[in-house]
Structure 1
Amino acid sequence: MLSTSVSPSEKRTALRAGLASGTLQRFPGAFTPLTAPLIQQLGFEGVYISGAVMSAELGLPDIGLTTLSEVAERGRQISRMTDLPTLIDADTGFGEAMNLARAVHELEDAGVSGLHLEDQVNPKRCGHLDGKEVVSQDLAMQRIAAAVAARRDSDLVIMARTDIRGVQGMAAAIDRAKALEAAGADAIFPEAMATLEEFAAIRAAVQVPILANMTEFGKSALFTHQQLQDVGVNIAIHPVSLLRIAMGAIERELGLLSETGTLDGAVDRMQTRARLYELNDYAAYNAFDEGVFNFEVPSAASMEGTTHA
């Protein structure tokens, strides 16, 4: 009730153990706090918190317009709803070294298990769009070094995302991954890999875990979890999938309402009231209320004869 009983420290330990397990860690993106317990109940290993989704929910494009406060608050809202580790998108760190250090502290306090920082130039672009620019290798390494130096919990995972594959090619991506590992990154997020062979090449280049971004309509094919594990990927995220599924359904059913004047024909496709109450643990809140408010206020008659010191 209210929040998970698993501490941020325990969840960070679990994330590190999962990344070292040899089993692919599957992290669907939670587009609302309510989807986090659903991800947990369906047996996934963790929850991803997407910057693209946060931007979309605010009606903004994914170009770095969200603020640190907005991102940290969303991280807190989602992390409190699940026993699973959470990995959050910290974009380019909301500034350079000192701003980035503050971002790490804010996200630590929000209870996330890990965060990833990218090497794009501000303002950033969605990683699967053309026209991106990346910073120099020195600056990319400085960002990761600053984040590693700033964290207070050594188990917080600092992941380095590189977008250089779509700008300078695969050889540059391998070189950048090695440099980011040398700067202290706990894991590498190579964005917009085109083939399984490219993921395998990154795997061969670094010793730390690597991530695959399985976003729809992007540069990467939607490889299966087994295919990704077979080439050594440690974690797969599905960042915007649940938002896309939900928005597709919302648009279809709103069209039905506009055409027919009723949603009676859509009820069978809706989540039931009972299932909603299960996800938000309504029974536990009700039981808490009953436990607190089951006393009787003493009447005046029962108080007669009592004395006060």
Structure 2
Amino acid sequence: MTQPNKLRALLRTDRLHVMPCCFDALSAKMIEQEGFGLTFMSGFAASASRIGAPDLGLMSYGEVVDQARNICDATNFPVIGDGDTGYGNAMNVRRTVSGFARVGCAAVMIEDQVAPKRCGHTPGKEVVGRNEAFDRIKAAVDARENDDILILARTDARHQHGLGEAIDRAAKFAELGADILFVEAPKTVAEMRQVCDELPGPKMANIVEGGETPDLTHEELRDIGYAIAAYPLTLMAAAMQAMTKALHALRDDTARSPMLMDFMELRDRIGFNEYYTTSSAYETSKRDH
């Protein structure tokens, strides 16, 4: 089954799909190893990981697609790519969507922020006008004529224009053919419920620990009506915290073993054992000599 079809099958089930977000091939691989059904390549986390810079539109299209390619190559479950604003006009959006499809992504997110975009839970966000926003999603949907991929349509209009405008935009995105709707940064449980009650199809919640959207339990999110709960920074925040503690231990010459993954498990998760098992089938030539 193709990755887009795997994602379609997941979305047909009546349940909440918890989606830890990755930032590179190793983090995506670990998400898959722990039994999660899908992941999202967080633009925030990927920008921090790849170029050591904030998610403020600094990574280029080519860098983002390359990061997505590495993630898809290392895994065998649906990956949603972060296509930001599409990197230009409607024709750029078409190229962006096709690019993500061809590296193996099951879906790509296209949003209505002004370029360069900002993280959805940081100040200063602005969105483009309705017509430009709708053209982006129409172009993204049109790109599926040649490349099979789902479209995750995001609006950040809540911050600048209120929840009503955000819902209106998302409803139009669905009418244009978007597969998954994402209204970013509702501020209350009531707003989250309104999003799910008034919009058709699968909806995604974006849970940033310490962000503007309430950090609800999985059961609460499912009951409200979300199909996907994305956790864009959980793994990066955990990794950075762990690395900081390990660096402090090295600097201060204190015990660091309790905070480290066992070396045997580390090698196994990276894939050494699988490599050795597979490569053993090709060692006949060595024995012949």
User: Per the shorter chain, which TM-score range?
Assistant: over 0.9
Deviation at 1:155, TM superposition (A): 4.6
1:274 alignment partner, SS class? helix
Matched, 1:158 2:151: yes
Question: Paired residue for 1:33?
Answer: 25
Paired residue for 1:43, among 35, 40, 51? 35
- Counterpart of 1:148 in structure 2 is 141
- Offset of 1:36 from its aligned partner? 2.1
Aligned counterpart, 1:21:
13
Q: Does 1:287 align with 2:287?
A: no
Query: Which 10-residue stretch deviates more, 138-147 or 193-202?
Result: 193-202
Shift of 1:298: 7.2
Superposition deviation, residue 244 in structure 1:
0.7
Q: Residue 285 of structure 2 aligns to a residue in which SS?
A: coil
Tell me, in whole angstroms, the C-alpha distance in 2 between the residues paired with 1:28 and 1:153.
Answer: 29
Gaps in structure 1 of 5+ consecutive residues? 1-8, 300-309
Q: 1:291 to 1:97 in 2, by over 3 A?
A: same
Q: Is the 8 A contact 1:93 1:117 kept in 2?
A: yes
Go from structure 1 to structure 2 and tell me whether the alpha carbon gap of 1:154 and 1:208 turns closer, same or farther (over 3 Å shift).
farther
Percent identity over paired residues: 36
Residues 155 and 294 of structure 1, relative CA distance in 2, 3 Å threshold: same
2:44 and 2:54 in contact (8 A); partners too: yes
Return the alpha-carbon distance in structure 1 between the equivalents of residues 283 and 32 of structure 2.
Answer: 32
Whether the aligned pair in 2 keeps the contact of 1:166 and 1:192 (CA below 8 Å) is yes
Alignment partners' CA distance in 2, 1:29 and 1:20: 21
Matches of 1:210 and 1:258 in 2, distance apart? 46
1:115 is matched with 108
Q: Deviations over 1:5-46 (max 9, x none)?
A: xxxx62211111212211111110112312223212322121
Aligned to 2:70: 77
Contact 1:101 1:146 in 2 (8 A): yes
The separation in 1 between residues aligned to 2:196 and 2:206, in whole angstroms, is 14
* Counterpart in the other structure of 1:88: 81
1:164-203 mapped onto 2 (5 Å cutoff): 164-203=157-196
Task: Tell me the equivalent position of 1:267.
Answer: 257
Asked whether the 8 Å contact 2:154–2:181 carries over to 1, the reply is yes
For the 8 Å contact 2:98–2:147, the answer to whether it is kept is: no
Shift of residue 48 of structure 1? Answer: 1.3
Q: Cα distance 1:281–1:298, how it changes in 2: closer, same or farther (>3 A)?
A: closer
Residue-pair matches, total: 288
- Secondary structure at 2:25's aligned position in 1? coil
Match of 1:237, SS? strand
Once the two structures are TM-superposed, the CA of residue 197 in structure 1 deviates from its matched residue by 1.9
Q: Match of 1:287, as an amino acid? A: T
SS of the aligned residue for 2:19 comes to: strand
**1:188 Cα offset (Å):** 0.7
Instruction: Say what the alpha-carbon RMSD is for the aligned residues.
Output: 1.7
Q: Determine if contact 1:158/1:187 at 8 Å carries over to the other structure.
A: yes
Aligned-pair distance for 1:47?
Answer: 1.1
Per-residue CA shift, 1:83-124, capped at 9, x if unaligned?
221111111011111111111111111101111111001111
- Counterpart AA for 1:23: R
Alignment match, 1:242: 235
- What is the rounded CA distance, in whole Å, between the counterparts of 2:193 and 2:150 in structure 1? 22
Cα separation, 2, equivalents of 1:297 and 1:219 = 62
Partner of 2:47: 55
Distance in 2 separating the partners of 1:146 and 1:129: 27
User: Measured at CA, do residues 148 and 294 of structure 1 come closer, stay the same or move farther in structure 2, by a change above 3 Å?
Assistant: same
Any conservation in 2 of the 1:105–1:152 contact (CA below 8 Å)?
A: no
Unmatched runs of 5 consecutive residues or more in structure 2:
none
Does the 8 Å contact 1:142/1:183 carry over to 2?
no
SS in 2 for 1:124: coil
The one-letter code matched in structure 1 to 2:154 is: R
Deviation track 1:135-155 (CA, whole Å, cap 9, x = no partner) reads: 111111100000111124665
